[in-house]
Amino acid sequence: MKKNKDEKRKLPSIGGQAVMEGVMMRNGEATAIAIRKSEKVYNLKNYETAKKAKDKPWYKKWIFVRGVTNFVDIMKLGITSLNDSVQMLGMEEEEPTKFEKWLAEKTGKDIMDIAMSVAIFLGIGFAVVLFIILPNLLTAWVSKSISNSLAVNLIEGFVRITIFIGYIVAISQMKDIKRFFGFHGAEHKTINAFEAGKKLTVANVQSYTTKHPRCGTSFLVFIMLVSVIVFSLTGWEGQLWWERIIMRIILLPVVASISYEILMGLANKNNLLVRILRWPGMQVQKLTTNEPDDGMVAAAIISALSVLDDDLFDEYAPEEFKHVSPRYQEDEIETDDIVAEDGTEQAEQKSEIPKKEYTIIDFEKEQEKQKAAKNAEPAEEATDDEAEPADK
């Protein structure tokens, strides 16, 4: 049976995040990071990070379970991407701590895996202190005269949301974070343009909004709102402060699962009720995204094009970004070879090849070249020593 021509085509669900001076994009198994090194010069790294849907364990597919596992996977990918972006920028990475080295030695695991696990643990620990323990203790202090458990839980929820918004407002004033949020805005604009079926030129992408319904910011807002309802069911009166905190930590996976299903359920719908439910998260995104400059948008476009299959790439890639794909890079190399054989006509024909507007460097190939050059240096020195005359 033929599909109606007017029926909207289902596009892959591309997601991403801002990283240091760039953007990470992910489409199923494919992941790419594009880093802005300088004016119109970008480093690009491609790799696979996910298993195919059919190869995933059963618990990663179940509703109200996949939310927790996806949250952990996203945190791991986020930390990996940030670390990779630091390396791609040529910045020095932090030396693993003695504790991390000790854990790696005792467990037999790679030290970077240990460092990532420690980072995730510390991140979750910070969130628990700031958004669970602190609101609970503040609420217990200000509501001593209130006997209604529901009212006290609502106050706690209000305090938690206030701390969350205050935290975002505070960090958004930092110069580096403002720039980071610009790349976040570029990521959203690029995905919005892609989902609208537009060619991914800088001008087209810049015309779209910096807000997106599947954003992690909206997910966090849903967690804040859902936690008010879920935690209210546990009561308040007669509980010790540490009992309440332990109960909330135990219920965190439940809150995350419900929030994830709400986020994904609302992502591809656009009626009045859906817009009302999305509204809080979309408003908070005004704080976590900034309008990007063209260079930031170019980084997001390069990253997004890198995770598309060949057919979608050919459809969405404008001429100035065609060389993101190795297929077009190979074509250019072959042309150079043919031109080189033409002798005297070489210069004329090469001048007809248009200069690329954006320089895109394959980070891993560049690293291999540098390693090969370093390995070649001792060999050259050894050859020079052998060639020296023996007389003294």
What phi and psi values does residue 38 have, to the nearest 5 degrees?
A: -160, -170
Total count of residues recorded for the chain: 392
Mean pLDDT of 45-56: 68
Q: What is the pLDDT of residue 53?
A: 53
pLDDT at 11 over 80: yes
Nearest to 287, CA basis, from 385, 360, 180, 202? 180
**Nearest-angstrom CA–CA distance, 305 and 109:** 34
- Cβ-based neighbours of 105, under 8 Å, separated by 6 or more: none
pLDDT at 103 over 90: no
Nearest to 80, CA basis, from 101, 49, 54, 111? 49
Mean pLDDT of 66-79: 82
Give the whole-number percent of the chain exceeding pLDDT 90.
47
Q: How far apart are the first and last CA of the chain?
A: 90
pLDDT digit string (tens) for 107-160? 666 666 666 677 778 888 899 999 999 999 999 888 777 888 888 999 999 999
**Nearest-angstrom CA–CA distance, 308 and 86:** 24
Q: Confidence band (pLDDT; 50, 70, 90) for 351?
A: very low
Strand partners for 45: 33
Q: What is the pLDDT of residue 60?
A: 66
Provide the whole-model pTM: 0.82
DSSP per position, 78-140:
HHHHHHHHHHHTTPPPPPPPHHHHHHHHHH---HHHHHHHHHHHHHHHHHHIIIIIHHHHHHH
pLDDT at 1 over 50: no
- Select the more confidently predicted residue: 333 or 83: 83
pLDDT at 48 over 80: no
